[in-house]
Amino acid sequence: MTILLDVITTAAILFVVAAGLLAIFGVLKIINFAHGAWLTVGGYCAVATTGMGLNPWLALPVAFAVGSALGGITEVLVVRPLYRRPLDAILATWGLGIVVGQLITLWFGRDVQFTPNLLSGTINVFGLDYSFYRLFMVLAALVVGLGFAVLLEGTRLGLSARAVIMNETLARALGIDTAKVRLTTFMIGTGLTALAGVLLTPLTSVDPDMGLAWLIGAFMLVMVAGSSFGALAVACLVFGGAQTLVSTFVSPVLGGITVAVLCALVLRISPKGFARA
Amino acid sequence: MPESRLPNIRVWLLGALVVASLLMIAFGPVFLDRFALNVLSRSMIYAMLAVTVDLLWGYAGVLTFGQAAFFGIGAYATAMVLTHLGSSPELLLLAFVLAILVPLVLGVVVGWLSFGYGTTPLYATVISLVLPIVVTQVAFSGGQWTGSSSGLVGYATLPLSLAGYFRLTGICLLAVAAAAWIFVRSDAGKVLVAIRDNEARCAYLGLNASRIKIALTAVLAGVTGLAGFLFANASGVVAPENTGFVFGTELVIWTALGGRGTILGPVLGTIGIDYLSASLSGQLPFLWKLVVGALFVAMIILLPNGLAGLVGKILPRSKGSRGEGGPLRQAQVMQVPQDVVDKPPLLTIHDLGKSYGSLNVLQGINLTVQPGELVSLVGPNGAGKTTLMRCLSDGTESISGSVSVRGANIAGLAPDAIVALGVGRKFQVASVFDSLTVAECLRMARAARYRPSLVHSSQELDLPSAAVEILKLTALDGMLDRPVSALSHGLKQSLELTMVVALEPQLILLDEPTAGLTKTERMTIGTILKKLTGELGLAAILVEHDLDFVREISSRIVVLHQGQLVLDGTVQDVVNSELVKAIYSGGAHD
């Protein structure tokens, strides 16, 4: 029973962490390797907010605002010139991640920072005491997933974004301002990633490299998911589940590479991954 | 064109550089302090790695972070032998062999995973990310064997002084850089660039790009393992971060800053940045990393070819060789005899069908083509002409029925294997290699037949007489040293046709070879095709919309309509057919 809860909550955490990367990859076809840095930025937003004595929950909107503002600058200065060179975009965003990481180090120092728990204690589920916060992450994942569903299906921006995903040339010919769609998507993606960074703080320590640990896992999941949030949810459940099982029954070290290895194998067999393209 | 009248600055510079590095290797230990010797030995080992990253990324176009993993494996193999078995000369030799062999074998496996037929370029990068992560975790969980997180330290190493290691790594770096420099200028080195430019065209020239990239990955993994052996000896410590993904990204950063696609750039970039890092990181560790990171981002965006690219622009270029140094090479054309054509039939299509889901694109196609025939395939848009061409040239397409070339069923064969059976395909949009010269493109067409040299750069160009004739007819013979990117659309089409003919095929598939050409260019292509089939006995299948052109050159016309073969006859039969008129006027939708 605990295993089942572990599987679901692990998948939820992975989903929250990878969602911002997927939004950007889905629409822009750019792999944002600064993803880890945006997570770290979110973590330090939590540190800064609580450092000023504010309510820790306030870190969520702050992180989203800071993340999307930085994302906007990044899209214009770094990503925009590289749309035709996707491999170079990986490298440039990776370099940007280094810069952001070093700026954070210069500002906050190298030490591990601690933030107060957003939700503490355990809750009784089916006769088991389980971490309240991990269960809260399931809710967060549902909110993020449904939020994107509403955004994509129900708004004008979503319609434009879907048009850009399907056929960018045609979308532009139809008068959709693809540059604006890209900018907005990138900002939402980075904002969401910074927000995910805040949500991670109760689960990991905050240090300048905290995002790096999540980057590869998120990247592999997005490769498998393509541009679909549904596929990402499935991938998180399947591979997050596998990770939990391997960590519990085989070894935590092997568990750490389960997601990456399994995703690589899936992509070898079916290059499109789980996406129904 | 005037040949190299100016003394070539590049050659002189290069010679001076080699002499300077030799002097540096020999006398460096005399005036450098311990710190500098130590750091530079390490930097030179890293520079060897940067050269391998550059060959994969800058030349073959495969962005890889995985060299760190092969390096770590070589270093760990060495340290493990020396720690657990001992350090007698025999065991040192064993460590040396294992440090190269283990990465080499793993390189074959990784290459096979990365470059299977039909995998995307991004997938190789994905694998190269996963590999160091896996290797690092293995090192972490290896317990006593790998020393876990603290790594292995305190084992006996090669009996060399600090100066000895400096000289050894210097000589190894010089050897690796020189070998790479010679290789990228050789005919085989050009194949890498051709694969980077246009992998599909390589496959349809009979080159197995996957196998070439697998071989490259494996060999470079071996070289990387050698660097790992040197590192394990020179530093006396091997730790998990030597094999990690972050180290892999650093290698790419050094390569990019120095200048991808050159050999000297990554070498100097790596030594410079690593040495500066070591010197400055004491005082301003984070600021220095910040500066390197910012420079890297700026470089990728503004100067994708790095510092070496900038220097390359400033230095005068040696004519015709696009900055390679060496005298102008005027390709000499020699004629080799055409293969004798086999007994008929050349091509047999039996009940061919192809469908995408419930949509039948082709149905029940039966067709036999004899040597000497020029068969035109006509039909309205969407009739399935291009699909049919693809089914004839790529056996991995899932089809029903069968296609045989010279009696051999092509089912399951990749394009390069079908080229080997004697089928050449020309694409609708001219598919050539934009970074190469005309002569180099043509040499690529011969590369599957005559294995290109790994060290030698050909001055001659051996072509079958038919290909020579096309060159003369299209005046391409006077532009052999011109870069392909400077050719007009029509000339690119002619060049691709020449490349296909240079394969010495027995059956040529042409998809709208005259699209977008002028009247004169069409006439030239028509003359060539008639000659190839009429006089030399090749067969050709031609997809064409221009019915006047078809009428003029074809020996037979096949009409395709809604995926079915509705008419197969002489020019007269087809031109006078009521059915064809009905199809083209849009009437015959049954």
Residues of chain A with pLDDT > 90: what percent? 38
**B110 close to B131: Cβ distance less than 8 angstroms:** yes
pLDDT band at B465 (very low <50, low <70, confident <90, very high): confident
A149 within a domain of the structure (yes/no):
no
CA-closest candidate to residue B369, choices B165, B130, B163, B555? B555
* B:271-310 residues touching chain A, CB 8 A cutoff: 286-287, 289-290, 292-294, 296-297, 300-301, 304
Question: Which of the two residues, B100 and A179, has the higher pLDDT score?
Answer: B100
Residue with tokens 């995408």: B356
Rounded CA-CA distance B74/B71 in Å is 5
Q: Nearest CB to A92: which of B125, B126, B297?
A: B297
Half-sphere exposure of B418 (CA within 13 A, CB side): 30
Tell me: pLDDT of B208 over 50: yes
Q: Nearest CB to A251: which of B116, B130, B141?
A: B141
* Mean pLDDT of all residues in B460-481: 84
* Mean pLDDT of all residues in B271-292: 85
A128 within a domain of the structure (yes/no):
yes
Tell me: pLDDT of B321 over 60: no
* Mean pLDDT of all residues in B187-216: 91
* B:97-136 residues touching chain A, CB 8 A cutoff: 113, 116, 118-123, 125-127, 129-130, 133-134
> Contacts of residue B257 in chain A, CB cutoff 8 Å?
none
Contact flag B245-A216 (C-beta cutoff 8 Å): yes
A165 within a domain of the structure (yes/no):
no
Q: How far is A9 from chain B (nearest CA, A)?
A: 24
Q: Is B212 in a helix, a strand, or coil?
A: helix
Q: Nearest CB to B301: which of A90, A92, A271?
A: A92
Contact flag A98-B286 (C-beta cutoff 8 Å): no
pLDDT band at B330 (very low <50, low <70, confident <90, very high): very low
pLDDT band at B98 (very low <50, low <70, confident <90, very high): very high
What letter would DSSP give residue B480?
Answer: T
Q: Nearest CB to B129: which of A95, A216, A256?
A: A216
Cis peptide bond N-terminal to B240, omega within 30: no
Tell me: pLDDT of B324 over 70: no
Listed ranges B120-124, B270-274, B308-312; the one with the highest mean pLDDT? B270-274
Please report the pLDDT score of residue A171 as a whole number: 85
Least confident range of A224-228, B4-8, B39-43, B175-179: B4-8
Count of domains in chain A?
1
Neighbour count for residue B332 (Cβ, 10 Å): 12
Q: Helices A2-28 and A35-51 sit at what angle, rounded to 10 degrees?
A: 110
**A88 close to A82: Cβ distance less than 8 angstroms:** yes
Tell me: pLDDT of A251 over 60: yes
Q: How many CB pairs under 8 A join A and B?
A: 97
What letter would DSSP give residue A75?
Answer: I
**B457 close to B520: Cβ distance less than 8 angstroms:** no
Residues of chain B with pLDDT > 90: what percent? 34
Among 3.40.50.300, 2.102.10.10, 3.30.450.40, 3.20.10.10, what is the CATH number of B347-584?
A: 3.40.50.300
Render pLDDT for B227-247 as a digit per residue (tens, 0 to 9).
Answer: 999 999 999 999 998 998 999
Tell me: pLDDT of B326 over 50: no
Please report the pLDDT score of residue B248 as a whole number: 94
Domain boundaries, chain B: 14-245, 347-584
Q: How far is A213 from chain B (nearest CA, A)?
A: 11
Please report the pLDDT score of residue B463 as a whole number: 84
**Is B357 an interface residue toward A (CB < 8 Å)?**
no
Residue with tokens 């392909």: B484
Please report the pLDDT score of residue B329 as a whole number: 42
Residue with tokens 């020019």: B571
Tell me: pLDDT of B3 over 70: no
> Contacts of residue A94 in chain B, CB cutoff 8 Å?
249
Rounded CA-CA distance B573/B547 in Å is 14
Q: Nearest CB to A98: which of B126, B133, B289?
A: B289
pLDDT band at A115 (very low <50, low <70, confident <90, very high): confident
A166 within a domain of the structure (yes/no):
no
What letter would DSSP give residue B324?
Answer: -
Cα-to-chain-centroid distance, residue B386: 26
| Residues of A contacting chain B (CB within 8 angstroms) | 31, 78, 81-82, 85-88, 90-92, 94-96, 98-99, 102-103, 105-106, 212, 216, 219-220, 223, 251, 253-254, 256-257, 260-261, 263-264, 267-268, 271
Tell me: pLDDT of B220 over 90: yes
Please report the pLDDT score of residue A275 as a whole number: 64
pLDDT band at A172 (very low <50, low <70, confident <90, very high): confident
**Is B1 an interface residue toward A (CB < 8 Å)?**
no
Long-range Cβ pairs for the range B335-341 (8 Å, 24+): B335/B463, B335/B464, B335/B465, B335/B468, B336/B462, B336/B463, B336/B464, B336/B465, B337/B464, B337/B465, B338/B464, B338/B465, B338/B466, B338/B504, B338/B536, B339/B422, B339/B504, B339/B506, B341/B371, B341/B506, B341/B536, B341/B537, B341/B538
Least confident range of A230-239, B56-65, B172-181, B449-458: B449-458
CA-closest candidate to residue B312, choices B63, B14, B5? B14
Contact flag B125-A88 (C-beta cutoff 8 Å): no
Question: Which of the two residues, B256 and B119, has the higher pLDDT score?
Answer: B256
Q: How far is B138 from chain A (nearest CA, A)?
A: 8
Rounded CA-CA distance B530/B167 in Å is 65
> Contacts of residue B113 in chain A, CB cutoff 8 Å?
264, 268
Query: For strand B507-511 and strand B423-426, is the pairing parallel, antiparallel, or unpaired?
Result: parallel
CA-closest candidate to residue B403, choices B426, B393, B379? B393
One-letter identity of residue A32: N
Render pLDDT for A15-59 as a digit per residue (tens, 0 to 9).
Answer: 999 999 999 998 888 899 999 999 999 999 999 998 888 888 888
* Mean pLDDT of all residues in A187-202: 92
Find the residue in B nearest to A76 (Cα): B301
Label each residue of A152-179 as H, E or C.
HHHCHHHHHHHHHHHCHHHHHHCCCCHH
pLDDT band at A276 (very low <50, low <70, confident <90, very high): low
Please report the pLDDT score of residue B68 as a whole number: 96
Render pLDDT for A53-103 as a digit per residue (tens, 0 to 9).
Answer: 888 888 899 999 999 999 999 999 999 889 888 889 999 999 999 999 999
Tell me: pLDDT of B315 over 70: no
Task: Mention every residue, 6+ apart, whose C-beta is less than 8 A from residue A46.
Answer: A56, A59, A63, A115, A197, A198, A201, A206
Please report the pLDDT score of residue A13 as a whole number: 93
One-letter identity of residue B12: W
Please report the pLDDT score of residue B459 as a whole number: 77
Mean pLDDT of chain B: 85
* Mean pLDDT of all residues in A109-135: 79
Q: Nearest CB to B290: which of A92, A103, A260?
A: A103
A261 within a domain of the structure (yes/no):
yes
Find the residue in B nearest to A217 (Cα): B130
Tell me: pLDDT of B320 over 60: no
Label each residue of B146-175 as H, E or C.
CCHHHCEECCCCCCCCHHHHHHHHHHHHHH
Q: Nearest CB to B123: which of A90, A216, A267?
A: A267
Q: Is B386 in a helix, a strand, or coil?
A: helix
Q: How far is B63 from chain A (nearest CA, A)?
A: 7
Tell me: pLDDT of A114 over 90: no
Q: What are phi and psi of B8, to 5 degrees?
A: -75, 115
Rounded CA-CA distance B24/B374 in Å is 66
Rounded CA-CA distance B326/B9 in Å is 10
Please report the pLDDT score of residue B333 as a whole number: 53
H or E stretch covering B352: strand B347-356
Please report the pLDDT score of residue A34 as a whole number: 93
Structure token pair of residue B509: 């598939």
Rounded CA-CA distance A86/A82 in Å is 7
* Mean pLDDT of all residues in B404-428: 88
Burial of B156 (0-12, 13-18, 19+ CB in 10 A): middle
Q: How far is B512 from chain A (nearest CA, A)?
A: 25
Listed ranges A118-127, A203-212, B268-277, B378-387; the one with the highest mean pLDDT? B268-277
**B486 close to B432: Cβ distance less than 8 angstroms:** no
ipTM of the complex: 0.89
